[in-house]
Amino acid sequence: MRILFSVLSFFALPSLLMAQAKTSKLDIVHLTGDAYVYSTYHDYKGSRISSNSMYLLTNEGAVLFDTPWDSTQFQPLLDSIKLKHGKQVVLCIATHSHEDRTGGLEFYRNQGIKTYTTRQTDLISQVKHEKRAEFLLKKDTTFKVGQYAFQTFYPGPGHAPDNIVIWVNKSKILYGGCFVKSTEASDLGNLADANVAAWPQSIKNVQQRFKYPKFVIPGHQGWSSRLSLIHTLDLIATYQRSKH
């Protein structure tokens, strides 16, 4: 009976792990060095969708690139970073005005964390009643926090009129947010605020500015491939052909 139980347990384990993955609310995965990708989840049009964000550990504390999509994970993310790394979050940058990027700005601001968006994002957030940051970026900006420098870059409109990307030069990480589609994506997703006509040139602007990324992090789905920028261009071309 013990042998049978062990065999049954072995075959049940993959199903158990898959079930846990489906019910997880916060996943944190080491990317490289001091960089981690964290994913939260939200129901969108009847499907459970992952939203990728990032944090970077520095000598002065942790930096968030975007906030959780799931509001129940605003505090658990802070707790996890504190427990796992012994770090407080000191800064958060949201990459555009949609809820899956800005949802936690007010919460983190109330925690004493410095929050940033571009001025363009803030204007849109005001109109759409999305959460707003305490500090506004008037132009592309390089931040220096502890031993790391990272820069924001506005490539032009694409997924949203205000989407920016973030480049961590030391680790060659391109954090694309929703401006970049995962290689797992079969379409362009939410186009409510998109400028599909301008998107290809905006992608090319990123490719010209940051030529050799080792990691490209899209806003949703898998992020193991460095070909997400090219895949995004392919999806745009497919979409444009379908409209003619």
Please report the pLDDT score of residue 5 as a whole number: 31
CATH code of 90's domain: 3.60.15.10
169: annotated active-site residue: no
Domain-embedded: residue 53: yes
Sign of the four-CA dihedral 84, 85, 88, 89: negative
Looking at the DSSP assignment, which residues form a beta bridge with residue 174? 167, 216
Please report the pLDDT score of residue 38 as a whole number: 98
Domain-embedded: residue 14: no
244: annotated active-site residue: no
Active-site residue (options: 52, 66, 159, 162):
159
Compute the CA torsion angle 8, 14, 16, 19 (nearest 10 deg).
-150
The tally of domains found in the chain comes to 1
Please report the pLDDT score of residue 156 as a whole number: 98
Q: For the whole prediction, is pTM greater than 0.85?
A: yes
Please report the pLDDT score of residue 7 as a whole number: 31
Per-residue pLDDT of the chain (244 residues; tens, 9 = 90+): 333 333 333 333 333 333 444 568 999 999 999 999 999 998 877 778 899 999 999 999 999 999 999 999 999 999 999 999 999 999 999 999 999 999 999 999 999 999 999 999 999 999 999 999 999 999 999 999 999 999 999 999 999 999 999 999 999 999 999 999 999 999 999 999 999 999 999 999 999 999 999 999 999 999 999 999 999 999 999 999 998 7
Domain-embedded: residue 8: no
Residue span of the structural domain in which 68 resides? 26-242
Distance CA 115, CA 71 (A): 16
Distance CA 194, CA 190 (A): 8
Q: Are 163 and 178 in contact (CB under 8 A)?
A: yes
195: annotated active-site residue: no
Active-site residue (options: 52, 70, 98, 220):
98
Please report the pLDDT score of residue 242 as a whole number: 93
Please report the pLDDT score of residue 14 as a whole number: 36
129: annotated active-site residue: no
42: annotated active-site residue: no
Active-site residue (options: 34, 52, 70, 96):
96
Q: How far is CA 108 from CA 86, 99, 112, 120, 205, in A?
A: 18, 14, 7, 20, 31
Domain-embedded: residue 5: no
Domain-embedded: residue 93: yes
Domain-embedded: residue 110: yes
Active-site residue (options: 66, 100, 122, 162):
100
Please report the pLDDT score of residue 133 as a whole number: 98
Active-site residue (options: 140, 190, 193, 205):
190
